[in-house]
Amino acid sequence: MNIEDVKKEIRDIVDFPIPGIIFKDLTTAFKSAECMKFFEEEMYNLYKDSGITKVVGIESRGFIMAPILGNKLGVGFVPVRKKGKLPAETIEVSYSKEYGTDTIQMHKDALSSDDVVLLHDDLLATGGTMKAACDLVRKFGVKKIYVNFLVELDALEGRKLFDEDIQVDSLLHY
């Protein structure tokens, strides 16, 4: 399986979630064992020598590959959730996104200053959610942050939101 084969498995949903948007639906790729193996191996090869200590997944589609990658790297998984979904004491960041505003949270004890963190989500569009997640992770004073997406919509230039010290990688580009 290669990048072009995986792209063929991703369907476009027109006018979702609002008119004028073409949504890249990765669920059609996720149901393919070959695509899942491709994602797992490609991400592992990108980060296997990076010293990552935690993989942080963004709710909800980031929860699909982040724990798989964490397991492959031999490190823990930490969720970033929408406000009110985590049971213990949290820290949070509010942000604007393409369809409104939102707040994300992590448990206060999720990371430490010794961690090297890989933040993962399925798709980079305008970048607001992941930028907020980076801001949230920075509150822990971690050593380094890497950011990863399965898909990047290049024309929206979401990658420009991230500071130069953050390595941003995407497997598929549209």
Give the per-residue pLDDT at 98.
Answer: 63
Give the per-residue pLDDT at 99.
Answer: 65
Mean pLDDT for back-to-back runs of 10 residues, the chain (174 residues): 97 94 96 98 98 97 97 98 97 84 96 98 94 98 98 97 96 98
93 belongs to a structural domain = yes
Containing domain of residue 118, as a range? 50-173
32 belongs to a structural domain = no
Q: Are 157 and 125 in contact (CB under 8 A)?
A: no
Widest pairwise Cα distance in the chain = 44
The reported pTM is 0.94
As given in the structure block, the two tokens for residue 127 are: 């970048």
Give the per-residue pLDDT at 17.
Answer: 87
The CATH number of residue 116's host domain is 3.40.50.2020
Give the per-residue pLDDT at 100.
Answer: 74
58 belongs to a structural domain = yes
Q: How many domains does the chain have?
A: 1
What are the catalytic residues? 61, 98
